[in-house]
Amino acid sequence: MQRALVLGGGGVTGVAWELGLLAGLAERGVPVTEADLVVGTSAGSVVGAQVRSGVPLEQLYEEQLAPPTGEVAARLGFLAVARLVWAGGRTRDAERSRARIGAMAVAARTPSEASRRAVIEARLPTREWPQRRLLVTAVDAATGEFVVFDGADGVSLVDAVGASCAVPGVWPPVTIGSRRFVDGGMRSTVNADLAAGARRVLILAPTSAAIGPMPRLSAQVDELRTAGAQVVVVTPDGSARTAIGRNVLDPARRAGAARAGRAQAAVVADEVTALWA
């Protein structure tokens, strides 16, 4: 495998920033969405499904600029973060930590699964898994097991992406068969280690935060490089962080985040081109 694109989590503004950055890179002749492998976590799973759908990247970008009419703004505020830290940070055992977060998510008062599924379905251009390889991450809410969906297991793309985006305490866990799943970002906001084996890895990370025993992005990058991969990590610059604001789940911030991502592409294009060529 030659090239992998890793798309990390970061809410609705993370989706917008990543699509802006990808559109800006494509505009400069760097088609990173043609990677042999795309890994998507949380917001990154939405972007991964979108860019693998065949819909033109420019169209996906333009959709991020539309006014958020009728969209419900959620909030991952201080209390929600505190609950995550409290639930997941009381043990050094990563799987147990994720199971505690999952239990918190199951007990939380959230919108219905059906209403949330409708939102996810509306964000995806297609309900079919792409022919080119896409990995979507999630976590079993009961056991804390890290799960990777790829379409080969019969799980629908909508359910896989919904599970990957099920932020604990904000959105409901997603039921698939007899199991319930929460956000893949509860294992890692990027899960860059899934790109192991690729010679060139581009990581877009709207956030690289980690709580408790979560693996750090820096450690995952070191592992990839030790294995011989060339790796470039892009995180939001100052202008993008300002555009994104403090609430990554606020649709009103989406257009600004998309534009900031596109502007940042001009700054990182040379580095990404050197990696991707």
- Residue 69's pLDDT band (cuts 50, 70, 90): confident
Flag whether 243 is in a domain: yes
What average pLDDT score do residues 74-79 get?
A: 61
Flag whether 199 is in a domain: yes
81-99 tens-digit pLDDT? 556 655 555 667 888 889 9
Tokens of 137: 């991450």
Flag whether 93 is in a domain: no
96-151 tens-digit pLDDT? 889 988 998 998 888 999 999 999 999 999 999 999 999 999 999 999 999 999 99
Residue 58's pLDDT is 96
**Structural domain range at position 182:** 3-72+110-276
Catalytic residue numbers, as ranges: 42, 183
Flag whether 250 is in a domain: yes
- Is 211 within 8 Å of 240 (Cβ atoms)? no
The mean pLDDT value of the chain amounts to 92
pTM (predicted TM-score): 0.93
140-171 tens-digit pLDDT? 999 999 999 999 989 999 999 999 999 998 99
- Residue 70's pLDDT band (cuts 50, 70, 90): low
Flag whether 179 is in a domain: yes
**How many separate domains does the chain show?**
1
Residue 83's pLDDT is 63
Percentage of the residues of the chain whose pLDDT score is greater than 90: 79
Residue 77's pLDDT is 56
Residue 88's pLDDT is 52
Flag whether 162 is in a domain: yes
What average pLDDT score do residues 13-29 get?
A: 97
Instruction: Tell me the HSE value of 267 on the side-chain side, using a 13 A CA sphere.
Output: 14
Flag whether 235 is in a domain: yes
Flag whether 84 is in a domain: no
189-233 tens-digit pLDDT? 999 999 999 999 999 999 988 777 788 999 999 999 999 999 999
39-52 tens-digit pLDDT? 999 999 999 999 99
